[in-house]
Chain A
């Protein structure tokens, strides 16, 4: 049964990798949606059902639709993008490899405790709600303010500039 995890993990990584290497933006988006689905599945495995569904609703249902929207709107599919030339790719490869090595090194050095606490309900909506509204009420309010600000910002960003009259009326 624990094979599920490894299968899902492999699929997740493949999907994520496909996001990176797909030359077609729409395919990238769809692979990303798949990635999110797989990650949600991981959440369900971890008994974090609430977060799994929130992940789907927020990322797959809202954020990715926005991406899809923008890509379709800008009609970017016309020109299939060429990747960066070899220099940036080499730089990127080196830096990513470096960070990977570092992560590996720190992972070797880290003491990851293997003992688990038997609270299976920590991912349930009641538990999360309690913690959220008891300990993290203020950050949540701040989040709502953040959304308000983001909303206003977007409206302002995309507001059409009021056009000036071509000629000033003569007095």
Chain B
């Protein structure tokens, strides 16, 4: 199996896993929400309602394809597509498991080991805004446009604090490659120990970047009906919703890799490279990711939504100064 073939297979697999995880995140979300609200949740399709996501997908596919007459057709279709693409592109630099060595060839469990992986993450995440902006604007609807503009300004604002929190992380690890960063955190020496404040800032920003509650103002139903996807129906809406869950998954994976050691875990780190280690490492990685997904859902159903000015104040007046402070403290520690 040549490297290229493996790469292609791996990328397809990652896409599949992403979609699968996202699919079942919706299920988990509904189940958990039901649990938190003392309900049963979906339980008809399949055992425990496990087939519910499939049913939803089928439903979305068969819904009427509706494109408003006054909208910009091409962009109206391009919007969700861009959003989905950018969401899926993110996973390219995430190392999902330790390298696998079979018969002397090394198979990297990572689509692309960019030496500027974090920057790539950033670039692609910032592109996600286009999907929302284009879709929201193309709808030719006041609420959609407002939602889109909210989303864009929210993303841009929180990107700054996020970037600054990562700057201090990079200062500690002195590498921009995600693989390097994960490799450095063998055993228990996770970055969360060195960067607690950075982690806090990052996770808050991650919530805002994924437009999840308590920062889901762009799609705030009470104010903007449905925000940027008000006019969307059928699978285009499905793409928007789905991409959001992919964002959740990727964010969780990134959080796990950056601050919680990724596939690193005591005992697992000490294993010799091989199939066992790769499998165990992958398991560890997905366990941590699952924990963060759970955290995302938990918080969504626990905390009330912010007001828009509160959101902006938090971003510009609290998180950014805190992140700068964090950079300074980190620099101080590095100097000492």
Contact = CB atoms under 8 A, between A and B. Distances in A.
Judge A-B direct contact (beta carbons within 8 Å): yes
Interface of A: 24, 26-27, 30, 33, 49-50, 53-54, 56-57, 60-62, 65, 68-69, 72-73, 77, 124-125
A125 B176 contact: yes
A68 B123 contact: no
Nearest to B129: A65
A30 B159 CA distance: 21
A124 B129 CA distance: 28
B6 interface: no
Complex A-B, nearest 3 residue pairs according to Cβ-Cβ distance, in ascending order: A61-B126, A56-B123, A53-B119
A54 B119 contact: yes
Q: Which residue, A27, A53, A72, has most C-beta atoms of chain B within 10 A?
A: A53
Given A65-B133, A73-B149, A125-B176, A50 B126 contact: no
A57 B133 contact: no
B130 interface: yes
A120 B176 CA distance: 18
B145 A72 contact: yes
Contact of A30 (B123, B134, B149): B134
A143 to B, nearest CB: 16
Given A50-B116, A69-B152, A60 B126 contact: yes
Given A26-B137, A60-B126, A62-B126, A53 B145 contact: no
Contacts of A33: 130
Contacts of B145: 72
7 contacts: A30-B78, A53-B123, A60-B123, A61-B122, A65-B152, A69-B133, A72-B145
A36 B127 CA distance: 12
Contacts of A54: 119
A137 to B, nearest CB: 16
Interface of B: 72, 75, 78, 114-116, 119-120, 122-123, 126-127, 129-130, 133-134, 137, 145, 148-149, 152-153, 156, 159, 176
Interface of A is mostly: helix
A125 B115 contact: yes
Contacts of B156: 62, 65
B123 A61 contact: yes
A85 B63 CA distance: 48
A57 B137 CA distance: 22
B123 A49 contact: no
Given A65-B152, A125-B116, A56 B75 contact: no
A132 B78 CA distance: 39
Given A53-B120, A56-B126, A57-B122, 13 more contacts: A24-B72, A26-B134, A30-B130, A49-B114, A49-B115, A49-B116, A53-B123, A56-B123, A61-B159, A62-B156, A65-B133, A69-B153, A125-B115
B43 to A, nearest CB: 43
A60 B176 CA distance: 20
Contacts of B159: 61
A6 B122 CA distance: 28
A31 to B, nearest CB: 12
Contacts of A57: 119, 122-123, 126
A27 B115 CA distance: 33
Contacts of B114: 49
A50 B119 contact: yes
Given A49-B114, A50-B116, A72 B137 contact: yes
